A and B are shown apart, each in its own frame.
Chain A
Amino acid sequence: MRLTIEGLGKRYRGGTWGLRGVDLELGPGVVGLLGPNGAGKSTLLRLLATISRPTEGRVLWNGEDIVARPEPLRRVLGYLPQDFGVYPNLTAREFLAYLAAAKGLARAAARQRIEALLELVALRDDAGRPLGGFSGGMRQRVGIAQALLADPQLLVVDEPTTGLDPEERVRFRNLLSDLSGERIVILSTHIVPDVESVATDLVAIDHGRQIAHDPPEDWLAAVEGRVWQWTVPSAELAAVRERFRISGALRRAEGVEVRAVAESAPTPEARPVAPTLEDGYLWTVERARREGRLAA
């Protein structure tokens, strides 16, 4: 299976480009789609999920254009939108049965699949309650379950961990890892740790532009020797934040231990430390902005 994205762009009414010039070639695995809020991640995912139509460029699923022929993709697509709703008076089981019917699953198979999914997302005990009484995290789990209903080959999930508690986040990451063997999973987030352990590929988007597509190791290698840590008095923290790209701050008895990404040591006291993927992401975005690769 292959997902090919060529020169993809989406212009909204009023002439604003939400996305432009995206080129990707994706195979089985988990793709972490990273970018700040408003970068164009959801726009890209809506295009891939055949919800929106591109203004330019094309998307090919196993060589077929998904605008001209969306059905082959839709048959194997699982999509979790960032903002989705539920019918509040239906129970979780009824809601999933409804969506299974819409996705064309046979009743008996749907029933089995729904029970397995309810177990998977730890909602079996609450499956008979109306969805209107569910917490945000529980609704999100229903959303994850519906995305997996039709055993998708392409799973597109937009900010899937929103509202999940830490335990649920770990569970979800493990689930993605398990699922990724024979399918393409595209996971959009602005929280780097969500993709740190599971992503086989990383794509960064900023201001509607694709700025990177690399394996996670490349991001770590790129920032190696450029991550610094030192301690500053609390009163100076604001000034330090203005001068450097701070990726973390930890309050200590002697002040605030700050972590920054920079070409060279920001201060004589700064010492190099091992980079994380978050440092790599910040460095990638920073470098793209500096090199002017975000100009429309």
Chain B
Amino acid sequence: MQAAHGTTFDGTGAEPPPHGLARLLGRNIFRFIFTIRGLGAFALITLGVMLAKWRSSGQLMRPAIREQIKRSGLTLLPMILFLSAALGFLVIGQAVSWLTRLGAINYLGSIMVLAVVRELGPLLAAFLVLARVGAANVIELGTARATGEVEALEALGIDPVHYLVAPRVVGMAVGVFALTVYLIIGALLSGYLWAFLQDVPLRPGAYLQQLAGALSGLDFALLGIKTLAFGFMVAIITCYHGLAQPLRLEQVPRATIQAVAQSVIACVLIDTVFIIIYLTV
């Protein structure tokens, strides 16, 4: 291909680099802005529908919500217990050797609170729910959209956001919160077990005192808000990519990949906001 300024390029039809790069950057920025706008609108619509219809069709919706809580919470419990054991071993295993060298073993509980309670616990639980349920959400809803099931709901006067999205939002928010609690408890217990096996001179009472000393009321409040925000965001992003735009069947895998990537980014951004809150309060 002969470029306008006389340079020969690779024949792939690509534009000259400066313009091509600018165009690519511009396109991605616009795409990002449109996605943010779409997600924001979808989140507001979902919240509006949940508030307006939270009591309607209870005999149908209550079992649907219970099913989603079971799907995003209870069925993931074995995996969360495995992760909690691994997380406790991992954090304590790394921390013990350094703290022993520094003679600062009294800070073991503080490190567990900083690493597990505030950061890794909520993030791991959110990523697990995203991987096991969020990705399935996009595939289910995207397939329903592509095969006309959403039009069928509309033809029956059933609000797809109320029937398909609201139970998932509640289920994933509650699921991430509950799993985080179990993950933290499991990691704190397995952490002590690992310290005990490494002959760390730390009695259970002293370990609990360290934990209690490192925890504040704000930790509990922020943990609740953060995990609910993670669950809400993962549900909104995965439902948005599955449901909020016309899809053909062959576009479902791409929508799934986009939804998972954006959910990870959203969780990290939410986490960053909470880090700032922790550091400033």
> Do A and B interact?
no
B residues sitting closer than 8 Å to A (CB atoms) are none
A residues sitting closer than 8 Å to B (CB atoms) are none
